[in-house]
Structure 1
Amino acid sequence: MVFGDQNAGIGKCGGLNEALVLIHAARMSGLRVMVGSMIGSSMAMRPAFIAGQFADLVDLDAPLLLGSDTSPSASYDGGFIQFRHDSLIDAGALSDG
């Protein structure tokens, strides 16, 4: 059996670094790449949002299936997913206290 695509599931392949290695290897082999996720919050999807920038297909709508999501949450509009850039900064890490 021959496959033409590679699914890089962040949780299943060992995290973001491993997913990026897998994506690179798939690209070098001429495969298309899909990044997907298991059920989880917007915050849990952050690594997949990064890996998804290098994918042909992205399926990261899991936070939409939750009754409530984390804050800040991703926004989903017209097939696009995004976080506001300032929401990604940990304000506590920037403070002196």
Structure 2
Amino acid sequence: MSSLPNVLILVMDTARAQSLSCYGYERATSPNLDALAADSVLYEQAIAPGCWSLPSQMSLLTGLFPAKHGAHELHLSYPHHYPTMPEVLRETGYTTFGISPNS
């Protein structure tokens, strides 16, 4: 059995912190996220490196700015020559998987 800590990256496109109760919204809009946040690292300040999903998500997965990883408005695909976080985690002993409706 592995002693590695669990890692979950949850990306929710178009979700706004101002509408989630775990970020202080007065109504209980996100009870399941609240429960997860209570036992997790909850980032209270973050800046997206891109103005839409593709470059922002590739930056999250590579740690690089869009101009470096190449997934931005001029290029709609990732060039695959930079390692991604799931690849690095897998190489260090994690079992990884992803679920997405996007390609």
TM-score w.r.t. structure 2 length? 0.23
Q: Give 1 or 2: higher helix fraction.
A: 1
Q: Give 1 or 2: higher strand fraction.
A: 1
Higher Cα radius of gyration = 2
TM-score w.r.t. structure 1 length? 0.24
Relative contact order, higher structure (CA 8 A, sep 6+): 1
